[in-house]
Amino acid sequence: MTTSPPSAPGPVADLPVAGDRVSQTLLLLGGTGDLAARLLLPGLGRLVATGAQPGLTLIGSGTEGWDNERWRRRVADAFATVGAGGPRATEVVRTSRYISADVTSEEDLRRLLADCRGRLVIFFALPPMITAKATAALARIGLPPGTRLMLEKPFGTNAITARSLNGILARLVPEDQVHRIDHFLGKSTVMNILGLRFANRIFEPVLNSTHVACVDVVFDETLGLEGRAGYYDGAGALVDMVQSHLLQVLALIAMDAPPTLDARDLRGRKAQVLRATRVWDDNPARWSRRARYTAGEAAGRRLPAYADEPGIDPNRGTETLAEVVLAVDTWRWAGVPFRLRSGKALAGEREEAVVTFKQPPRVPTGLTGYEQPDRLRIGFEPDRLSLDVNINGPGNPLELDQVNLAADFGPGELPPYGEVLRGALEGDPALSVRGDTVEDSWRIVEPVLEAWRAGAVPLQEYAAGSHGPGDSLLTPAPGEMRRH
Ligand code: BG6
């Protein structure tokens, strides 16, 4: 091991450039982990297979004593899962290297940095505690100028640790070089919310409290724990999904139009919305719910009770389903409930945001059959936009029927992780979560976590494969809602 200081490359302008190739190193900390294998490396494979990032070198690091060959096999296997082949992907695998290191040790970090060439992008695919220690160690030894940092969620474990991590990062690099990853922002349907809202005349004028009764953001999965006890039992559905992904979706649906989609405008608009967001009535005991699954069968698979899964401490009372009703206290949205829900091991996948409109002021006497208000549905999986509208049905023209007008979105060019990696490798933080926004997201959910810890909200149970506990805060209850 060498203790010599890192050979810091110069600023971006001085980097070695061949043609339009700016050489960059992506240093993947936690490279041997599950996240890297399942999501990051496949996303990277698809990105480089498009011919993007010509000057990129990949270095993986972990505590395991792997050699280059084993690491390259890991990268190649991950690329193969998404069919990422071709000369560029092959080149990235061939030139990739593995360095075993303890990223909380200054000495090991120095050694790692000394091995990186060109502009450096460091991806922390690590648990929050290790990320905090690694960034603190980096703050002591310094980083080459221009370095960009990518951090996987959860960002901190509460508002205090998120603030302290933000403080450390601010000592390392400017905020625009910090990429806090929320892969939902790389989902093409989520980004399509921008086009839908701001490139059409017909939706935006009615997206406000005059016309909207409520907004639901729902992410129900059939998957259970999937062997992630170590992480999930300390997080639970509220932190895993609501504090991060669903609040980001809420922000995109509720924000005012940004003048441009550059990072400053887009993230500024989202931050305004989240600053104005809090638990409905400031009453988390009334407006939140939690539950965990018992044994059952979801999507044809037999699941044990969450509490019986290996590695779970049942006494922690971790929830696998969370619901919370939020208020967005702005002129546009005052009085409109935003209901966020996510659960695992449920009967079906329902992954959508639904804007439910108010009833028309008056349905003329003589028009019969009005039952349901209009709904705008933004489906994340499948990627679909649809509208439930009341029109005159077949037969009697004065008898109303609700019909669904639907359009499918094509899949995005890149998977979500490919998209967020592209942002960081190209130095565009628009799809990254800004530091103040992460702190606000914790501020929003913390009263709920406190109410739960104090026992003010019972931990309910639902059988795996069911629609969740019956008395949902969402109305109509998810099981009654139509799937499109
Ligand atoms: C992850 C959560 O961030 O998002 C998982 O940790 C969840 O629990 C996943 O299953 C859902 O996202 P996707 O893109 O896999 O549908």
Position 12 confidence tier, pLDDT thresholds 50, 70, 90: very low
pLDDT at 10: 38
- Who's near 452: CB < 8 A, 6+ residues apart? 284, 288, 290, 317, 319, 459
CA–CA distance, 124 with 134 (Å, rounded to integer): 9
Has residue 367 got a pLDDT over 50?
yes
The rounded Å distance from CA 419 to ligand 1 centre is 16
383 lines ligand 1 (CB under 6 A): no
Structure tokens belonging to residue 127: 């648990």
Residue nearest to atom 13 of ligand 1 (CA): 184
Collapse the DSSP code of 48 into the 3-class scheme (helix H, G, I; strand E, B; otherwise coil) and give the result: helix
For residue 431, what are the contacts with CB-CB under 8 A and spacing of at least 6? Answer: 185, 186, 191, 419, 420, 423
Atom of ligand 1 nearest to the CA of 244: 3
Q: Is the pLDDT of residue 477 over 80?
A: no
Cα-only R_g, the chain: 24
Q: 122-132 pLDDT, tens per residue? A: 999 998 889 99
Domains and CATH numbers, the chain: 10-181 (3.40.50.720), 185-411+436-482 (3.30.360.10)
Atom of ligand 1 nearest to the CA of 351: 16
Atom of ligand 1 nearest to the CA of 219: 11
- Residue 223 φ/ψ, nearest 5 degrees: -65, 145
The sign of the torsion formed by the CA atoms of 198, 201, 204, 205 equals: positive
Contact 179, 429 (CB under 8 A): yes
Distance 223 CA to ligand 1 centre (A): 10
Best mutation site among 183, 217, 306, 417 for ligand 1 pocket (most ligand atoms within 8 Å of CB) = 183
Average pLDDT of the chain, as a whole number: 91
240 CB under 6 A from ligand 1? yes
* More reliable by pLDDT, 13 or 72: 72
* pLDDT exceeds cutoff 50 at 314: yes
End-to-end alpha-carbon separation of the chain, Å? 58
Tell how far the Cα of 17 is from the centroid of ligand 1, in angstroms.
37
Sorting pLDDT into bands at 50, 70 and 90, what band is 15? very low
Q: Give the integer Cα–Cα distance in Å for 410 and 232.
A: 32
Residue 458 has pLDDT above 80, yes or no: yes
Confidence class for position 347, pLDDT limits 50, 70, 90: very high
CA 78 to centroid of ligand 1, rounded, Å: 18
For residue 416, the number of C-alpha atoms closer than 13 Å in the C-beta half-sphere is 18
Pick the residue whose CA is nearest to atom 9 on ligand 1.
241
Q: Per residue in 275-296, pLDDT tens? A: 999 999 999 999 999 999 999 9
What is the model's pLDDT at position 480?
Answer: 40
Candidates 179, 183, 211, 245; catalytic one: 245
pLDDT at 75 over 90: yes
Determine what percent of the chain is predicted with pLDDT higher than 70: 93
Q: For residues 72-80, give the mean pLDDT.
A: 97
Distance (Å) of CA 88 to CA 24, 54, 57, 77 = 14, 7, 11, 15
Residue bearing the CA closest to ligand 1, atom 6: 240
Q: Rounded CA gap, 465 and 292, in Å?
A: 12
221 close to ligand 1 (CB < 6 Angstrom): yes
pLDDT given at position 21 = 60
Give the number of other CB atoms < 10 A from CB of residue 392.
14
Is the CB of residue 216 below 6 angstroms from any atom belonging to ligand 1? no
pTM above 0.85, yes or no: yes
| pLDDT classification of 412: cutoffs 50, 70, 90 | confident
Is residue 245 annotated as a catalytic residue, yes or no? yes
For residues 36-41, average pLDDT: 96
Does residue 108 line the site of ligand 1, with CB under 6 A?
no
Mutation test residue for ligand 1: of 40, 222, 240, the one with most atoms within 8 Å of CB:
240
Ligand 1: which of 38, 181, 191, 221 to mutate, most ligand atoms within 8 Å of CB? Answer: 221
State the closest ligand 1 atom to the C-alpha of 153, by its place in the atom list counted from 1.
Answer: 3
Q: Note the pLDDT of residue 475.
A: 59
Q: Check if 374 has its Cβ closer than 6 Å to any atom of ligand 1.
A: no
Condensed to tens digits (0 to 9), the pLDDT of residues 149-203 reads 999 998 998 999 999 999 999 999 999 999 999 999 999 888 889 999 999 999 9
Helices (H), 247-296: 247-254, 263-275
Distance separating alpha carbons of residues 16 and 23, to the nearest angstrom: 6
Question: What DSSP assignment string belongs to 353-394?
Answer: EEEEEPPPS-PPTT-B---S--EEEEEEETEEEEEEEEEE-S
Q: What is the pLDDT of residue 3?
A: 35
Pick the closest to residue 351 from 385, 323, 325, 379 (CA basis). Answer: 379
Residue 6 has pLDDT above 60, yes or no: no
Q: State the residue for tokens 């996987």.
A: 152
Taking the centre of ligand 1 as the mean of its atom positions, its distance from the CA of residue 117, in whole angstroms, is: 33
Residue at 384: amino acid letter: R
pLDDT one-digit tens code per residue, 243-252: 999 999 999 9
Helix, strand or coil, per DSSP, at residue 28: strand
Pairwise CA distance, residues 394 & 306, whole Å = 48
Please give the number of the atom of ligand 1 that sits closest to the Cα of 381: 16
Give the pLDDT score at 394: 78
Q: Which residue carries 């084993």 as its tokens?
A: 70
Query: How many angstroms separate the alpha carbon of residue 75 from the centre of ligand 1?
Result: 21
